[in-house]
């Protein structure tokens, strides 16, 4: 049999030694050596859906943008509308090229109207820094890449409030979704945001790299289990969150990716990609991202092809086994005429054609998700 090839990697997160001690299996991801699983992807998935899991997401990038014009600058680059934002709140957005395809997707945090923190994808750090810098022009904004100075963790799952609350000097019950607070854990300053990538309640946390062991150990001791990238992917797929390079990329627009809600009209504001994106939003696109289920046994993976009556009609962007639903799920680009829920088609898997169907998304939605 053919085992997964070990690719070369460049970087380790500050938690590398801890991952090894925990017996994690490490793989390359976007140039980083990351834990794919500690014990079992299925078990880790279940822990996050029912209890609480702890993820090392320090491979992701973190920039600070400061200056009098930060809001105007971001309004020019982002598709979402910063007028909907306020201090201590964060917002998900895409940053697009002039043709509407995606440079990156990200969450930015308004610390003050003149200071923003941005968390970006690991594989896009250099590209994003360059893109932001190129567009500074006369805006009074300074960009700093603090990725290597800080550590980022996610604590996700229905028990995450219960585990984190006793450790910090802030009232987390007052923290609403997409809000964040600067507080202390064991007297160490940390930023806690009620955001996530799993479809569960939970937090994303950022703090100085020198406290990495203290914070990780405190969270683990509180009862949160370490979770690898494998479960991170099955969890986000069930919740239908986009992954750069799959559902969105520099050849895909947010409208095609069916996240048109991140593109706002922003009256009177010119933002990069606006013309194309607003036209696509009004007129539609020739392909659209949909959720699919495989109706026969098998597993679907990225780039498998979709056919209807022998005609090629699209491809899978992400696919796999859903532990929560115990079936094969996927996201796929499909010719827009076939987007209706219930449409049946075929997917080519190793020269066989298996029946599949368009279904509603997300595949998994937590009830009462704060």
Partner 1 sequence: MDYKLPSELKYTPTHEWVRVENSLIVTGISDYAQHQLGDIVYIELPELGAIFDKGNVIEEIESVKAVSEFLMPLSGEIIEVNEKLANNPELVNSSPYGDGWFVKIKISDPKELEKLLSLDDYQEVIKKDEK
Q: Summarize as ranges the residues that interact with partner 1 (CB under 8 A).
A: 1-4, 23, 25, 36-37, 40-42, 230, 234, 297-299, 301, 320-321, 323, 328, 350
Which residue number, 40 or 133, has a Cβ lying nearer to partner 1?
40
Q: How far is the CB of 21 from partner 1 (least distance, A)?
A: 14
Which residue number, 196 or 230, has a Cβ lying nearer to partner 1?
230
Q: How far is the CB of 55 from partner 1 (least distance, A)?
A: 16
The CA distance from 165 to 171, in Å, is: 7
Order of all β-strands in the sheet with 61-66: 90-96, 102-112, 115-120, 61-66, 142-145
Q: How far is the CB of 122 from partner 1 (least distance, A)?
A: 18
Which residue number, 20 or 341, has a Cβ lying nearer to partner 1?
20
Which residue number, 37 or 361, has a Cβ lying nearer to partner 1?
37
Q: How far is the CB of 301 from partner 1 (least distance, A)?
A: 7
Q: How far is the CB of 302 from partner 1 (least distance, A)?
A: 11
DSSP string, 303-326: TPEEEETTEEEEEEEEEEEETTTT
Ranges of beta strands (E only) in the chain are 11-12, 25-29, 32-37, 53-56, 61-66, 90-96, 102-112, 115-120, 142-145, 150-156, 180-185, 188-193, 202-208, 225-226, 287-294, 305-308, 311-322, 327-335, 344-349, 352-359
Which residue number, 142 or 327, has a Cβ lying nearer to partner 1?
327
Q: How far is the CB of 7 from partner 1 (least distance, A)?
A: 13
Which residue number, 42 or 64, has a Cβ lying nearer to partner 1?
42
DSSP string, 150-165: EEEEEEESTTHHHHHG
Number of other residues whose CB lies within 10 A of the CB of residue 265: 11
């Amino acid at each position: 049999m053919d085992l997964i090839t070990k690719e070369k990697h460049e970087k380790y997160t500050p938690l590398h030694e801890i991952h090894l001690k925990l017996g994690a299996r490490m793989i390359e991801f976007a140039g980083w050596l990351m834990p794919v699983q500690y014990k079992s992807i299925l078990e880790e998935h279940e822990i996050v859906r029912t209890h609480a899991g702890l993820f090392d997401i320090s491979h992701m990038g973190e920039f600070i943008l400061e200056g009098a014009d930060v809001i105007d600058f971001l309004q020019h680059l982002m598709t979402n509308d910063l007028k909907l934002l306020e201090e201590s709140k964060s917002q998900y957005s895409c940053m697009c090229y002039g043709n509407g395809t995606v440079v990156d997707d990200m969450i930015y945090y308004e610390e003050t109207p003149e200071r923003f923190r941005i968390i970006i994808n690991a594989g896009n750090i250099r590209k994003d820094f360059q893109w932001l810098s190129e567009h500074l022009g006369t805006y009074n904004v300074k960009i700093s890449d603090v990725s290597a100075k800080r550590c980022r963790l996610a604590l996700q799952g229905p028990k995450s409030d219960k585990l984190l609350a006793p450790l910090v000097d802030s009232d987390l019950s007052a923290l609403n979704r997409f809000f964040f607070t600067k507080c202390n854990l064991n007297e160490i300053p940390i930023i806690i945001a009620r955001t996530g990538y799993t479809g569960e309640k939970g937090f994303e946390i950022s703090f100085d790299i020198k406290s990495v062991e203290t914070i990780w150990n405190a969270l683990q001791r509180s009862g949160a289990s370490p979770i690898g990238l494998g479960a991170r992917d099955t969890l986000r797929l069930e919740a239908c969150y986009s992954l750069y390079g799959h559902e969105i990329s520099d050849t895909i627009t947010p409208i095609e990716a069916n996240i048109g809600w991140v593109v706002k009209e922003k009256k009177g504001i010119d933002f990069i990609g606006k013309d194309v994106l607003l036209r696509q939003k009004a007129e539609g696109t020739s392909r659209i991202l949909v959720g699919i289920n495989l109706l026969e046994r098998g597993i679907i993976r990225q780039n498998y092809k979709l056919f209807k009556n022998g005609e090629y009609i699209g491809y899978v962007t992400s696919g796999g086994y859903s532990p929560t639903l115990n079936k094969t799920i996927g996201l796929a680009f499909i010719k827009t005429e076939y987007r209706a829920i219930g449409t049946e088609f075929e997917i080519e898997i190793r020269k066989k054609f298996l029946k599949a169907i368009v279904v509603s998304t997300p595949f998994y939605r937590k009830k009462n998700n704060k």
